[in-house]
């Protein structure tokens, strides 16, 4: 599906939604006028509706209508932003992205993570688990401040090669004062699709996914 076809489809859907909202406001105004007319016809002749009361009702309806229109305008802005995000997200397909995350693919005896520290760790180690949550590998590391690249050869601590699939890294680190550090872990992959069904855009990297807001780098 091309970007143009996605935009055309979204525009058609949104045009229909806007028409429904406008019709709803018009219907509500017609109902208000009918109720007001009925009230005027059936008012007590000895206690007719005062001009101030009539004006107050008109003001109240106007305020409600303005609020509805304001909400509609906000929804329209959100829709336009969502449409723009969807259109731009489609452009990620086929590109390699690096995003915050801890789960990546082991392929051809290789799995890679980027580990970023904002202060120098004095002691650090990693634990790698499989998709079932079972620890398959653990080792001490020599990470430094800034960005570190860690590549795993897909072997467990006994030297046995493990099958391809999803593996998750956990980094344990402390500083010179033995205070725990929380580094950022990042993964890379080629975008194969875009998921917009949730509250935020999600980029599919094969059988795993990352949030668009967590993307740190894009490569052609």
Question: What confidence score (pLDDT) does residue 198 get?
Answer: 74
Residue 141 has pLDDT above 90, yes or no: yes
Residue 220 has pLDDT above 80, yes or no: no
Distance between CA atoms of residues 211 and 100, nearest Å? 8
pLDDT digits (tens, 9 = 90+) for 151-183: 999 999 999 999 999 999 999 999 999 999 999
Contact status, residue 156 vs residue 138, Cβ threshold 8 Å: no
Tokens linked to 197? 């069904």
Share of the chain above pLDDT 90, in %: 50
In this structure, are strands 215-219 and 96-100 parallel, antiparallel, or unpaired? antiparallel
Task: Provide the residue ranges of all domains of the chain, joining segments of one domain with +.
Answer: 3-90, 96-219
Q: Choose the weakest-confidence range: 19-28, 49-58, 150-159.
A: 19-28
**pTM of the predicted model as reported, rounded to 2 decimal places:** 0.62
| 197 or 81, greater pLDDT | 197
Question: What confidence score (pLDDT) does residue 82 get?
Answer: 59
Angle at 138 between CA 132 and CA 143, to 5 degrees: 125
Backbone angles phi, psi at 61, to 5 degrees: -65, -40
Q: Choose the weakest-confidence range: 9-23, 26-40, 146-160.
A: 9-23
* CATH number given to 96-219: 2.60.40.4070
Distance between CA atoms of residues 113 and 121, nearest Å? 17
Tell me the CB-side half-sphere exposure of residue 92, using CA atoms within 13 A: 30
Question: What confidence score (pLDDT) does residue 10 get?
Answer: 44
Query: Per-residue b/e over 85-121, b at no fewer than 16 CB within 10 Å?
Result: ebeebbebeeeebbbbbbbbbbeeeebbbbbebeeeb
Q: How confident is the model at residue 40 (pLDDT cuts 50, 70, 90)?
A: low
């Amino acid at each position: 599906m091309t970007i143009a076809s996605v935009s055309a489809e979204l525009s058609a859907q949104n045009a229909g939604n806007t028409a429904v909202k406008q019709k709803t406001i018009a219907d509500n105004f017609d109902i208000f006028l009918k109720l007001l007319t009925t009230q005027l016809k059936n008012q007590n002749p000895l206690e007719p509706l005062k001009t101030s009361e009539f004006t107050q009702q008109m003001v109240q309806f106007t305020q409600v209508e303005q609020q509805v229109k304001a909400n509609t305008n906000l929804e329209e802005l959100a829709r336009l932003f969502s449409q723009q995000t969807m259109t731009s997200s489609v452009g990620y397909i086929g590109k390699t992205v690096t995003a915050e995350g801890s789960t990546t693919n082991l392929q051809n005896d290789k799995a890679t993570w980027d580990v970023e520290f904002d202060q120098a760790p004095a002691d650090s180690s990693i634990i790698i688990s499989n998709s079932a949550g079972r620890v398959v590998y653990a080792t001490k590391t020599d990470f430094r401040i800034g960005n570190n690249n860690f590549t795993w050869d897909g072997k467990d601590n006994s030297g046995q090669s493990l099958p391809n699939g999803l593996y998750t890294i956990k980094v344990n680190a402390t500083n010179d004062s033995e205070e725990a550090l929380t580094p950022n872990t990042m993964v890379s992959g080629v975008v194969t699709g875009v998921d917009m069904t949730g509250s935020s855009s999600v980029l599919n990297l094969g059988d795993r996914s990352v949030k668009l807001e967590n993307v740190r780098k894009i490569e052609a």
